[in-house]
Structure 1
């Protein structure tokens, strides 16, 4: 790629300043490993009708968030239009640490049929870190006003890709390594500490929010992350960011306030962070029976 080419990165994050530590570490980690120009768009719910992330929860205008697992779940579908359906765009959640040159992902070849590349295989894909071909995506994605006005647009867009899995090309590298996946830290290119109950940033953000009389948007149970080495790695990047002049408060915005969102009270994490023993024997047996009867279908993360 051209050394002057700007890499566009869209990041989904909370609108009430819950994710400041995540944003700081992610921003720092992107710039630590690349010499390329970077343009970051923080995607956060907004009261501004001119914003592509606008929602009015009282009047029902703008985005409908009630069925979303996070405060930004549906935003990824608006990225190609935000780029005027030109060029490429990277999307990622905020709970990510970049451990390689982001230009590698940006330059990844995209198949003729695919509109997005993401972590996956034959039967699944995860769009929580992905690369869009904005021009090719135009003929498949709903327009912004349709995405915003339909409460089921996020679900419907997911279904579109499930019905046409050839539109998603899997990248075969650790650009979206979910909570370590058994890899050594030096084998990971992009670490996604995905389990919302074990996130490394909680020890910083929870105390900060409590001191300000606020609560984090994640309302499920929290646990220590099983990979102590990755926890140390996050702390290393956190302290490096501070030493380099990055500060959590640099990412503060005027808080959006209350918004509707699905609860995580019954959130169970993933197989890399939660032991099967956390389920009782009956639940394990029932899950095994159900899975044996399931027909393999293409699945996506939420």
Structure 2
């Protein structure tokens, strides 16, 4: 790889719910990274010229009604937005970087793979990944189809389930989901993934309430089981403010109402809620779903 600018695309909410996440992610990337970085925030837009445009009343642009987050399907558009040239990193907003991102940027890629992500023979998570934009062109829908097809996100995930060799695995700690039993020193990129236990809720929900708004996550909120990780986030949050970063810098004109799948029955993950594994009903339902899915390749949403 060259020593040029590293492009990082970040999926985030269009109504200023994720300002704290955006600020900490931005600060943490620049704190540790040795090369120039360009961050592209991916947020739903009313602008027809924007690649993130959607007019849901007129059924134009992106169809988000089946997405778990306000940005789930955006990741598939990244290679085309890079003119199918070079590499690009994708991240969810709820991420804290603790390493030089150059390590991930320069990660080796197998000949057949189009994306580098956390995974093994039976699973992959694209919530932090590196696209080979040129190689991806052969497999991904063009932007217009990604936008217009309500099932495009599901279909693109199915593509990688059908062709798992397209995913090049990296070291798990580059996408450490809510700690996963690792000491802080072992974590390269922390993804505080459980939407119900995110460290930013204590900041964002009161802030939004003062503005007469609600957070896009409509599920139940819990305390994260890793107090040390909560303290790590608070440390980076304060460091960012001290370094001159401000929430105002990430504000946009709020998009307003958009369609999204509800998270009322969201159950988090095994790391943050191990007690769910002892819940007979939840455990039984997961076994039934697993039986119907068989041993197929699984992918995050």
1:43-122 → structure 2 map (5 Å cutoff)? 43-122=42-121
Aligned residue pair count: 301
Gap runs ≥5 in structure 1: none
Give the drift of 1:105. Answer: 0.2
Give the drift of 1:169. Answer: 1.1
What TM-score comes out, normalization by structure 2 length?
A: 0.97
- The SS at the match of 1:266 is coil
- The SS at the match of 1:240 is helix
Task: Describe the shift of the 1:34–1:145 C-alpha distance in structure 2 as closer, same or farther (beyond 3 A).
Answer: same
Give the drift of 1:249. Answer: 1.1
Match of 1:263 in 2: 262
Match of 2:154 in 1: 155
Q: Would the aligned equivalents of 1:276 and 1:284 in 2 still touch at CA under 8 Å?
A: no
d(CA) in 2 for partners of 1:254, 1:203: 23
Match of 2:252 in 1: 253
Give the drift of 1:180. Answer: 0.2
Q: Would the aligned equivalents of 2:174 and 2:189 in 1 still touch at CA under 8 Å?
A: yes
Match of 2:23 in 1: 24
Task: Describe the shift of the 1:291–1:213 C-alpha distance in structure 2 as closer, same or farther (beyond 3 A).
Answer: same
Match of 1:124 in 2: 123
Task: Describe the shift of the 1:112–1:221 C-alpha distance in structure 2 as closer, same or farther (beyond 3 A).
Answer: same
d(CA) in 1 for partners of 2:71, 2:202: 22
Q: Would the aligned equivalents of 1:9 and 1:91 in 2 still touch at CA under 8 Å?
A: yes
Match of 1:236 in 2: 235
d(CA) in 2 for partners of 1:294, 1:47: 38
Task: Describe the shift of the 1:84–1:292 C-alpha distance in structure 2 as closer, same or farther (beyond 3 A).
Answer: closer
Q: Deviations over 1:29-57 (max 9, x none)?
A: 00000121000100000000000000001
Q: Would the aligned equivalents of 1:116 and 1:132 in 2 still touch at CA under 8 Å?
A: yes
d(CA) in 1 for partners of 2:195, 2:294: 28
Q: Would the aligned equivalents of 2:178 and 2:190 in 1 still touch at CA under 8 Å?
A: yes
* 2:216 paired with 1:217: yes
Task: Describe the shift of the 1:146–1:239 C-alpha distance in structure 2 as closer, same or farther (beyond 3 A).
Answer: same
Give the drift of 1:58. Answer: 0.7
Q: Would the aligned equivalents of 2:270 and 2:277 in 1 still touch at CA under 8 Å?
A: no
Q: Would the aligned equivalents of 2:176 and 2:191 in 1 still touch at CA under 8 Å?
A: yes
- The SS at the match of 2:173 is coil
Task: Describe the shift of the 1:282–1:47 C-alpha distance in structure 2 as closer, same or farther (beyond 3 A).
Answer: closer
Task: Describe the shift of the 1:57–1:286 C-alpha distance in structure 2 as closer, same or farther (beyond 3 A).
Answer: closer
Match of 1:189 in 2: 188
- The SS at the match of 2:161 is helix
What TM-score comes out, normalization by structure 1 length?
A: 0.97
Match of 1:135 in 2: 134
d(CA) in 2 for partners of 1:141, 1:291: 27
Q: Deviations over 1:242-298 (max 9, x none)?
A: 000001111000000000000000000000000235763344345446646752110
d(CA) in 2 for partners of 1:290, 1:250: 43
Match of 2:283 in 1: 284
- The SS at the match of 1:16 is coil
